[in-house]
Amino acid sequence: MRPFSTVFWVAVILGSGVLHAAEVPVEHPPFKKDQYVHHAPTVDDLMKDQEIKPQLKKVILKGRDIFMNTQQYRGKYVFSRLSCKNCHLGEGRLNWSGPIWPAATTLPDYRGKNGHVNSLEERIAGCFSFSLNGKPPEYGSDIMLALSAYHQWLALKAPVYETHIGGRGYSSLGKDIPKDIHYVQGEKVYQAQCAICHGATGQGKSVEGKVVFPPLWGDDSYNWGAGMARVYTAASFIKNNMPLGKPGALSDRDAWAVALYVNSQERPQDPRYTGDVKETREKYFNFHQYTMYGTERDGVLLGQHDNTGAKPFLKPDALRPRTFDE
């Protein structure tokens, strides 16, 4: 045995001299058979692309800049402290992080959330109104066009109306909260794994007024009508993206528990609020069946308030029905 172990130790010592010892894995779910898997282009690809006119490049880059730093419109179009890239990681390109390009290849299409056929701009307006607790820029405005151009360019070479897309959205854990998941367990996960960045009370962290770690709840976060307020959406987002840099590190149970914890905290009112939280929950039950809005936690009814965060109104005008009957 002795000679072997000497060899073994020599190997370990030599081995530790080279750069490859420790690694934290990136674990994402596998793609399903028959799914289209996209590789969105990078800014370097854009700069090299001879087919795209310089004028268009400029607008695409403007769209990217708005996407990365939507806080530049805080107080005008954005009343939370979030930017688009906070939920669509890796510049909106990353699979399993709600890559944004599928909206450019699958819309216009019918959306259950608002019950009519939506354009790409309307989809973007949705994230402004709910996720950013804001007011969408005018349809057809320079900002909307720049954002649309960025989305569409990211879809470069993707098949139009292909809907079997690998890594789209956030739903890899399915929609149903496992029965034995508890808020208290979620709080433990939160304090151990998340608070270092998002703060002990979910408020996030800023340096000299610039947001570094975005707020997860409270006045500065997404509102009750945002997709991320659904426990399953947050659970899958967290499982595949958080703690930052360590996708897949949490067990499914921990991801569900911490999502339940985060989404059982108060946040700005759903813009579709009727004045009564239970009524609003019922009215939009196809959505709110997955949120904690209008349910009780520790004897308090979540979402029964007039707090719209820093936003001085409840509902942006852009959120309006379409009938196509004209």
Partner 1 sequence: MMQVHRGWLFSAVLALTGVAHGAGDPEKGKLIVTAGDGSGAPCIACHGLDGAGNDLAGIPRLAGMDAGYLVKQMRDYRSGARKSAVMSPNVDNLNDGQIADVAAYYATLDTAPTSLPSGAPGALALGEALATKGDWDHYIVPCETCHGPGNVGVGSDFPKLAGQHPTYIKQQLKAWKTGTRNNDPNHLMLAIVGRLTETQIEAVAAWLARQDPKGGK
What is the contact surface with partner 1 in residues (CB under 8 A)? Answer: 16-24, 26, 42-43, 89-91, 93-94, 192-193, 196-197, 205, 207-208, 210, 212-213, 243-247
199-258 positions binding ligand HEC, by CB under 6 A = 213-216, 221-222, 226-228, 233-234, 237-238, 242-245, 250, 258
Smaller CB distance to ligand HEC: residue 2 or 32? 32
Contact pattern for ligand HEC over residues 117 through 156, marking x by CB under 6 A:
------xx--xx--xx--------------x---x-----
H or E element in which residue 300 lies: strand 300-301
226 binds, among ligand HEC, partner 1, none (CB under 5 to 8 A by kind): ligand HEC
In the stretch 277-316, what mask flags binding to ligand HEC with x, by CB under 6 A?
A: ----------------------------------------
Cis, bond preceding 178 (omega within 30 deg of 0): no
Dist CA 179 CA 309 (whole Å): 32
By a kind-dependent CB cut-off of 5 to 8 A, residue 22 interacts, out of partner 1, ligand HEC, none, with partner 1
Structure tokens at 130: 């709910």
Region near ligand HEC per CB under 6 A, out of 188-196, 285-293, 301-309, 315-323: 188-196
CB nearer to partner 1: pick between 31 and 315:
31
Q: Which is nearer to ligand HEC, 158 or 258 (CB)?
A: 258
- Residue 276 CB, nearest distance to ligand HEC (Å)? 25
Residues 153 and 147: their CA atoms lie apart, in Å, by 10
Contacts of 143 (CB under 8 A, 6+ apart): 66, 73, 77, 137
Count CA atoms closer than 13 A to 215's CA, side-chain side: 23
Angle at 228 between CA 285 and CA 139, to 5 degrees: 90
- Residue 157 beta carbon to partner 1: minimum distance, rounded to whole angstroms: 16
Residues 144 and 120 sit within 8 Å (Cβ to Cβ): no
Cα gap 191→193, rounded to integer Å: 6
Burial of 254 (0-12, 13-18, 19+ CB in 10 A): buried
Partner whose binding site includes residue 20, from ligand HEC, partner 1, none (CB under 5 to 8 Å by kind): partner 1
Distance CA 269, CA 291 (A): 13
Q: How far is CA 54 from CA 46, 47, 50, in A?
A: 10, 9, 9
Nearer to partner 1, 84 or 229 (CB): 84
Q: Is 103 in the site for ligand HEC (CB under 6 A)?
A: yes
Alpha-carbon Rg for the chain in angstroms: 22
Q: What are the residues binding ligand HEC (CB under 6 A)? A: 67, 70, 82, 84-89, 98, 100, 102-103, 123-124, 127-128, 131-132, 147, 151, 168-171, 193-194, 196-198, 213-216, 221-222, 226-228, 233-234, 237-238, 242-245, 250, 258, 262
